[in-house]
């Protein structure tokens, strides 16, 4: 692992490639993790609710039709005139015409009923309906009649076999029939059975009902006997009588009108949804494979992985291209610097671009030419001295060099019409001029102008995500202060408060008069607040800086600027001055600096 780390650490190119790889992998991982652990369960619940609603809707539809049939039959069960018609059916053509019309009207308004038969015990019958292609065999009709008579007037729903007389050899049809005996009810006795009513449902309508109920691929819907757990009606006739609900699930469904649960099988899990059908003794039971509930989840995951892999490939290609365009000139510059270190001052780099790297290469070439010119003018004995002077002044080359370079950038930006670059370069030039000027003491007015330039540059960087305001109380403009006293705190407000907030925010700087000869400078931002743990740590850090008499403060290097400001204030103005802060999500973060209106050596 250490060898791999060294291998990557020695190349900026490999660092960039690794960074792109980690970023893309992180995004893909977060997407998949968030979907599975936060969204997948919601989608699964929605899928279960949808299947439950579909089954309940199917059960409600069928239950309404069964109830209508039963209600129609029950109305005639207690009708005295209808009883008289049934007993004299063979000799009452007018009655046959009347009741045929009433029953035909019912069949017309209830398409699920395809055939109605009124059977008299003496052999006469009244048949109404459009059942042509299939019919009920004599022995099957006899079974239905016997069941109705045995029930003694109580209506029954029964599965019924059918056949097509025109297509011998084909498997028989399969439907449901409602049967009810007709008894001659009198005031003194229940009366004898005088006939039987048989209402036959349309196989096509039942098939359509099942098709709508089984909307999901692989799902099945059955009519099930609640007591036995056996299939009463399904798409496949041979399934009739098969046990579909085991004993333990029958016990689970007892006492519940509807509900759902999951069943585990060797072939995979199933969602079981059930709802009772009134007083029929049946229930509508639907089986939906669990894998159907997660199809959308699996599809999203697959697409996310493919998109992530494609994005990773494109990112690596872009990283390689961008890195080569950026790093190759830097490699040449690095080689040139190593040549300079070895005393080869005649090296010259190719300048292929006009960006910042190109300017650095061009400046490097000018520097080498200038060094060669200086070497040629002095005696051999003075070369060592010149090299020593160059090394001693090396720390000062960068500010002056950058200041001159910024002047070049300003000129070129003005020529190209890019006001933003011109503004940034001018502002940076002013900031560098302010920083490298000889005095260590400045004024509040000059210091606030320095911070205004800094915030203006950051405003261009963050655009609408950053706003700022600066207020200096009149009369405090010439208050003397050490240079760059507030700069670290303003930078912290931007870097730690505003830049980490997606919405951005405002930085406000104000200086107002305090008690007696004090000045209060407040630096406020409404970006991300400082968490409680870090607030406690910062309070301890400021306390340490106060107690160490200007020594190096203890704490993380990222907060050394804050510690140095505290030390500088208290060394100059005394322990009664210094920094305090507050931070919360509602009111933002405020750093308050208390200083004097004059420096100690100016008092009196």
Following CA atoms 549, 555, 557, 558 in sequence, which dihedral angle do they give, to the nearest 10 degrees? -110
pLDDT in tens, 292-320: 777 777 777 777 778 777 877 787 777 67
Does 167 have pLDDT greater than 60? Answer: no
Q: Band of the pLDDT at 165, cuts 50, 70, 90?
A: low
| Mean pLDDT, rounded, for 562-574 | 83
Does the pLDDT value for residue 603 go beyond 60?
Answer: no
Higher pLDDT, 261 or 131: 261
Q: Flag whether pLDDT at 604 surpasses 60.
A: no
- pLDDT tens digit string along 111-158? 889 889 998 887 788 888 765 445 777 888 888 888 988 887 788 988
Q: What local confidence, expressed as pLDDT, does residue 519 receive?
A: 93
- The pLDDT-based confidence of 170 (bands split at 50, 70, 90) is low
Query: Which neighbouring-strand residues pair with 493?
Result: none
- Whether residue 330 has pLDDT greater than 60: yes
Range from 203-207, 340-344, 407-411 that averages highest in pLDDT = 203-207
What residues contact residue 536 under an 8 Å CB cut-off, 6+ apart?
A: none
580: confidence class by pLDDT, cuts 50, 70, 90:
very high
Of the given ranges (88-102, 241-255, 409-423), which has the lowest mean pLDDT? 409-423
pLDDT band at residue 524 under the 50/70/90 scheme: very high
Claim: this prediction has a pTM higher than 0.95: no
| pLDDT in the model for residue 395 | 36
| pLDDT value at residue 554 | 46
What's CA 354's distance to the chain center, in Å? 43
On the question of pLDDT at 407 being above 80, the answer is no
Q: Report whether pLDDT(492) > 50.
A: yes
Query: Per residue in 407-438, is it b (16+ CB within 10 Å) or e — as a string?
Result: eebbeebeeeeeeebbbbbbbbbebbebeeee
pLDDT of residue 393: 35
The more confidently predicted of residues 35 and 511 is 511
What DSSP letter does each residue of 410-463 carry, written as one string? HHHHHHHT-HHHHHHHHHHHHHHHHHHSS-SEEEHHHHHHHHHHHHHHHHHHHG
Name the band, by pLDDT with cuts 50, 70 and 90, for residue 356. confident
- Please report the pLDDT score of residue 386 as a whole number: 42
């Amino acid at each position: 692992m250490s060898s791999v780390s060294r291998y990557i650490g020695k190349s900026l190119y490999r660092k960039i490639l690794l960074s792109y790889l980690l970023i893309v992998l992180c995004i893909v991982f977060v997407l998949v993790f968030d979907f599975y652990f936060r969204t997948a369960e919601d989608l699964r619940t929605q899928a279960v609710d949808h299947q439950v609603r579909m089954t309940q809707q199917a059960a409600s539809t069928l239950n309404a039709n069964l109830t209508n049939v039963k209600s129609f039959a029950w109305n005639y069960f207690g009708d005295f005139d209808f009883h008289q018609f049934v007993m004299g059916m063979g000799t009452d053509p007018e009655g046959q015409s009347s009741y045929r019309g009433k029953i035909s009207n019912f069949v017309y308004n209830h398409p699920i009923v395809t055939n109605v038969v009124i059977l008299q015990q003496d052999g006469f019958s009244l048949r109404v309906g459009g059942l042509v292609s299939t019919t009920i065999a004599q022995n099957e009709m006899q079974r239905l009649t016997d069941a109705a008579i045995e029930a003694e007037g109580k209506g029954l729903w029964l599965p019924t076999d059918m056949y097509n007389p025109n297509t011998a050899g084909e498997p028989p049809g399969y439907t449901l029939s409602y049967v009810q005996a007709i008894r001659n009810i009198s005031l003194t006795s229940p009366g004898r059975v005088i006939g039987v009513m048989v209402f036959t449902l349309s196989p096509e309508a039942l098939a359509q009902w099942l098709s709508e109920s089984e909307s999901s691929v692989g799902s099945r819907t059955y009519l099930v006997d609640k007591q036995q757990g056996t299939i009463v009606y399904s798409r496949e006739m041979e399934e009739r009588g098969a046990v579909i609900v085991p004993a333990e699930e029958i016990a689970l469904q007892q006492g519940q009108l509807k509900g759902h649960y999951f069943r585990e099988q060797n072939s995979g899990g199933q969602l079981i949804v059930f709802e009772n059908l009134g007083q029929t003794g049946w229930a509508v039971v639907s089986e939906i494979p669990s894998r159907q509930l997660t199809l959308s989840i699996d599809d999203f995951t697959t697409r996310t992985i493919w998109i992530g892999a494609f994005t990773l490939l494109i990112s690596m290609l872009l990283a390689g291209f961008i890195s080569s365009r950026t790093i190759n000139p830097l490699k040449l510059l690095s080689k040139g610097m190593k040549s300079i270190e070895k005393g080869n001052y005649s090296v010259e780099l190719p300048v292929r671009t006009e960006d910042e790297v190109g300017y650095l290469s061009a400046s490097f070439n000018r520097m080498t030419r200038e060094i060669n010119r200086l070497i040629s003018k002095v005696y051999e004995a003075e070369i060592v001295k010149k090299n020593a002077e160059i090394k001693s002044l090396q720390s000062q080359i960068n500010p002056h060099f950058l200041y001159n370079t910024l002047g070049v950038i300003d000129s070129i930006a003005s020529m190209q019409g890019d006001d933003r670059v011109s503004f940034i370069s001018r502002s940076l030039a002013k900031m560098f001029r302010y920083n490298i000027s000889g005095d260590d003491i400045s004024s509040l007015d000059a210091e606030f102008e320095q911070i205004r330039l800094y915030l203006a540059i950051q405003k261009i960087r963050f655009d609408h995500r950053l706003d700022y305001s600066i207020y200096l109380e009149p009369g405090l403009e010439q208050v003397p202060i050490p240079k760059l006293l507030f700069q670290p705190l303003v930078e912290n407000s931007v870097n730690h408060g505003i830049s980490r907030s997606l919405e951005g925010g405002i930085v406000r700087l104000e200086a107002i008069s305090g008690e007696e000869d004090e000045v209060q400078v407040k630096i406020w931002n409404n970006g991300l607040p400082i968490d409680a743990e870090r607030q406690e740590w910062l309070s301890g850090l400021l306390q340490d800086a106060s107690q160490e008499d200007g020594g190096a403060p203890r704490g993380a290097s990222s907060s050394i600027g804050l510690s140095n400001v505290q030390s500088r204030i208290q060394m100059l103005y005394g322990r009664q001055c210094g920094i305090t802060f507050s931070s919360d999500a509602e009111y933002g973060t405020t750093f308050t600096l208390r200083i004097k209106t004059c420096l100690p050596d100016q008092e009196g």
